[in-house]
Amino acid sequence: MAVSAKLVKELRDRTGLGMMECKKALAAVDGDVEKAIEELRKTSGMKAAKKAGRTAADGVILAKVADDGSYGVLVEVNSETDFAAREENFLGFAKKVTEAAFAAKTADVSVVMNAEMVVVRDALVQKIGENISLRRITLIEGDCVSAYVHSNNRIGALVALKGANQEVAKDVAMHVTATNPRVVNKDDMPADEVQKEKDIIMAQPDMASKPAEIAEKMIVGRIGKFLAENSLVEQAFIKNPDQKVGAMVKAAGGEVVSFVRLEVGDGIEIAEVDFATEVAAQLKG
């Protein structure tokens, strides 16, 4: 029988599965949505789709850099729990997508998560029982690129230098993972961020009674400190606090061009559900 678009939409809304899969399931049961759901629940695709609504905010950060230092990728793959993030099959999948991103030299998640990779991902969801997603990929190209991923695989950084060597770039990447700078140079800080900091400083209690010229000097000084603390090249190098990162790189014959830092789950909002509510929802489901 012909399956209406309305029925396909209803089944998609209730299962989260693809249009063609829903259409095929409905055609097989003469358009009976409830029967289609029963049949789909017997398949791994249905199980994977049911998990897709759950927040995947844990996981790992992985990196891969070309031997010649010409480019590198940094990848975040998410799971729901730290337990799953340490699971052998999950780590194997994370390495697989990292290799794919590196080989394609791309930061486009949709390119890496092609039809074949989606099948692999869905099978892993079925096996582990958690939502799994390739959240983001970053790509950096340059004269000298290196990466550093912290031992717990939760924070990583890619750095590109002009000149110097990959060992220096790796040291800078290690520094970035530890200090989380916001920009390379002070001049790179967005004007709205600087203004926001000025507004915060001006609203502080000790500014209220200061004459205008004194207040202005205090603002300049504090903004200077803010910029130095958040600019990579101005920060004290973690391996040698007596030397700034920029000076360290310059002494090695290089210059910092760019960096990117990823931390697992950064920016993901996790809905808080109390235990009783969660159990009730599971029983209802």
Q: Residue 9: which CATH number?
A: 1.10.8.10
* 22 occurs within a structural domain: yes
Where is average pLDDT lowest: 45-54, 155-164, 170-179, 274-283? 274-283
* 221 occurs within a structural domain: yes
| Mean pLDDT, residues 206-225 taken together | 86
Residue ending a domain, among 215, 230, 245, is 230
* 261 occurs within a structural domain: no
pLDDT score, position 233:
98
pLDDT score, position 44:
43
* 224 occurs within a structural domain: yes
* 249 occurs within a structural domain: no
Tens digit of each residue's pLDDT (9 = 90 or more) over 79-115? 988 888 899 999 999 999 999 999 999 999 999 999 9
Tens digit of each residue's pLDDT (9 = 90 or more) over 266-276? 877 655 544 45
Distance CA 119, CA 160 (A): 34
| Mean pLDDT, residues 112-129 taken together | 92
pLDDT score, position 264:
94
When comparing pLDDT for 49 and 106, which is higher? 106
Tens digit of each residue's pLDDT (9 = 90 or more) over 183-210? 999 999 999 999 988 888 888 888 778 8
Global confidence as pTM:
0.74
Largest CA distance in the chain: 82
* 116 occurs within a structural domain: no
For the chain, how many structural domains are there in total?
2
* 34 occurs within a structural domain: yes
Domain span holding position 35: 5-42
